[in-house]
Amino acid sequence: MSKTNKNSIQNPHDKFFKELFSEKEEVTEFIAKTFPQDLVKKLDLDTLELDNTSYVDEELQEHFSDLVYNCVFYGKVPLKIALLFEHKSYQPDFPIHFQLLKYLLKIWEQNLSQKESLCPIIPIIIYHGKKPWEKKDLSQYFSEDNELDGRLRKFLPQFDYLITDLNTYQDEEIKQVFKLISLQTGLLLMKKIFEKQLEADLKFIFGAINELLKTEKGKRIFRTLLVYLYYASKIEKDKIFETMNNLSLEAQADTLTVAQQLILEGEEKGEEKTRKIVVENMLKNGFEIEQIANFTGISLEVVQKIQKQAQK
């Protein structure tokens, strides 16, 4: 995590999306559960491989972030699956096809520059805005009555995209459809990050956290979830740490690891609130002041000062 303060993280949604969907197991299940099944049956998901190139330029960054995977279709056709995360809380009021076409052209231009055959691309938009996504065919924007003569329609670009609108899923449905705890929790958090009742839903969202924390990978993803909560939500930071500390004994250690990272950032920027929150929570959970100082790197004098303030 870069050493910066809360306000300088320009797009925590982008960072979280890329960290979660860079995990092959999570991406494999996401594709298997959200793509049309007749398409999934023809995709060799074992061949999924992350393409480390981003095809989003400065203009497209305004609209979405991308992760691209190479895959094989029908055992022989190489293609790309472009996961495009719409990080705004609303659907753009212009045809998304404009941005998608620019994006597809960038990949095909690279194919040509490397003297490769043009590869098929499956774009999928992941959306977590407040209002439902309204999907239209590009031709619908050319005529108010949506009826173009066939002799004109053939001159229009024709391509499709997939859309996963998280708001079309009920909360329990997300837990039923996706079996990986990391994916369940991540998608639920993405879905609810703009909602006012997010704080009240944290226990439900992180309900299976003990299962997630059984592996090192799960612990890493849990920490990613916490950082996303810290930077992207409007919940008071002490409430985040307090909730996580109270979820389970297993969650406490990893919560403190994230808190320690945030303390280091806060020290560099002169922020004291995060340190105070962490020390108070550790005191509530029975840590001795020497243990707190050793674990967090905060001086014993500062820990004692916070302890005295908490006792008043």
3-state secondary structure of 48: strand
Determine phi and psi for 139, rounding to 5 degrees. Answer: -65, -25
Query: Collapsing DSSP states into helix, strand and coil, what is residue 132?
Result: coil
Residue 8, pLDDT score = 39
Domain boundaries, the chain: 1-168
- pLDDT given for residue 216 in this prediction: 92
Contact 68/83 with Cβ under 8 angstroms?
yes
User: Residue 236's CB: how many other CB atoms inside 10 A?
Assistant: 12
pLDDT at position 2 is 36
pLDDT at 238: 75
The pLDDT of residue 300 is 85
Residue 79 is predicted with a pLDDT of 97
Query: Helix, strand, or coil here: 124?
Result: strand
Query: What local confidence, expressed as pLDDT, does residue 94 receive?
Result: 84
Cβ-based burial of 244 (10 A; exposed 0-12, middle 13-18, buried ≥19): buried
Cα separation, 89 vs 91, in Å, equals 7
Distance CA 37, CA 43 (A): 10
Mean pLDDT by 10 residues, the chain (312 residues): 41 90 97 97 97 88 89 95 88 89 95 96 94 88 69 85 95 96 97 93 94 92 90 85 82 76 58 72 80 76 87 78
The pLDDT assigned to 6 comes to 41
Q: How many C-beta atoms surround the C-beta of residue 147 within 10 A?
A: 9
Structure tokens at 116: 């490769």
Whole-number pLDDT of residue 126: 96
Q: Are 51 and 83 in contact (CB under 8 A)?
A: no
On the 0-12 / 13-18 / 19+ scale of CB atoms within 10 A, 306 is buried
Region label for 91, one of left (φ > 0), alpha (ψ between -120 and 50) or beta (otherwise) = beta
Structure tokens of 284? 């509530």
Each residue of 28-66: b (16+ CB within 10 Å) or e? bbbbeeebeeeeeeebebeebeebeeebbeeebeebbbb
